[in-house]
Amino acid sequence: MIEKFDTQTQEILFELEKTQKQFWNISRVTAEFLYTIIRTKNAKNVLEIGTSNGYSGIWLAKALKETGGHLTTIEFYDKRLDIAKENFKICKVDDIITPLQGSALMHLEYLPDYAKFDFVFIDANKSEYIKYFELLDKHIEIDGLIACDNVLSHEEKCRPYIEAVNSNPNYENVVLALPAGLSLAKKIRS
Ligand SMILES: C[S@@+](CC[C@H](N)C(=O)[O-])C[C@H]1O[C@@H](n2cnc3c(N)ncnc32)[C@H](O)[C@@H]1O
């Protein structure tokens, strides 16, 4: 799937995969899954929590280039976000990305009521997934999806989120056996 991208993007993605552990990036197969699902769903307003050096963000944004959408991505550490911004530029996706530096909880608390997302990718502090969900719920459109990485690799920390989404009648959730475990919840009503 990576072969679809221009040479510079392929080179950056291959380079970033060499430091995957250091920057806690998602696996290639998880990235390919997110890339596919955003295009299949024709998602337009995507939020990512946990940018790191931009590896997953590049895949999300490449999908959004095809749907005509936009990515907002949040990262706590300014140095990591600076690297991500540089990578977004090289991959020519910086024009459709709003990078936000700081605490995800802080940014989510101050989201204006009109901010709506049809796809959210959560890959930050596992213990905070439940709080991200509580703050995000009113911003998720009907038929919108929330994907959370590491729900199997960090099962205990993610459990409060998994229990909350599984017991919420407004959501249907499935846990996919991708490398770290990816939860995919669809909002079916509000
Ligand atoms: C697993 S890494 C993200 C990897 C990235 N999604 C990728 O696959 O390329 C998690 C990132 O979330 C950031 N992070 C953790 N807690 C955060 C918080 N509360 N607010 C914002 N960013 C946070 C960390 O600094 C780290 O860079």
Quote the radius of gyration of the chain (alpha carbons, Å): 15
Distance CA 34, CA 15 (A): 20
Task: Supply 58's token pair.
Answer: 């590049």
Nearest residue CA, atom 16 of ligand 1?
A: 125
Nearest residue CA, atom 8 of ligand 1?
A: 25
Distances (CA, A) of 80 to 32, 55, 64, 108, 156: 22, 11, 22, 20, 27
| 159: containing domain | 2-187
Task: Supply 123's token pair.
Answer: 């890959």
Residue 190 C-alpha to ligand 1 middle, in angstroms? Answer: 28
The amino acid sitting at 160 is: P
| pLDDT over 90 at 50, yes or no | yes
Residue 106 C-alpha to ligand 1 middle, in angstroms? Answer: 14
Residue 102 C-alpha to ligand 1 middle, in angstroms? Answer: 10
Percent of the chain predicted with pLDDT > 90 = 99
Buried b (16+ CB within 10 A) or exposed e, 65-94: bebebbbbbbbbeeebbebbbebbeebbbb
For CA atoms 84, 89, 93, 98, give the dihedral sign. Answer: positive
Distance CA 40, CA 35 (A): 9
Residue 176 C-alpha to ligand 1 middle, in angstroms? Answer: 21
Distance CA 3, CA 13 (A): 11
Atom of ligand 1 nearest to the CA of 55: 9
Please, what is the average pLDDT of the chain? 98
**Mean pLDDT to the nearest integer, 30-52:** 98
| Number of domains present in the structure of the chain | 1
What is the CATH classification number for the domain harbouring 37?
3.40.50.150
State the residue for tokens 């380079």: 15
Nearest residue CA, atom 26 of ligand 1?
A: 52
Residue 52 C-alpha to ligand 1 middle, in angstroms? Answer: 5
Q: Tell which residue, 166, 81, 173, 167, has the closest CA to residue 124.
A: 81
Residue 149 C-alpha to ligand 1 middle, in angstroms? Answer: 11
SS3 1: coil
> Is residue 1 very low, low, confident or very high in pLDDT (cuts 50, 70, 90)?
confident
Q: What confidence tens digit (pLDDT) does each residue in 55-103 have? A: 999 999 999 999 999 999 999 999 999 999 999 999 999 999 999 999 9
Residue 96: its pLDDT value, please?
98
Please list every protein residue whose CB sits less than 6 Å from any atom of ligand 1. Answer: 24-26, 50, 52, 55-56, 74-77, 80, 103-105, 123-125, 128
Q: What confidence tens digit (pLDDT) does each residue in 124-167 have? A: 999 999 999 999 999 999 999 999 999 999 999 999 999 999 99
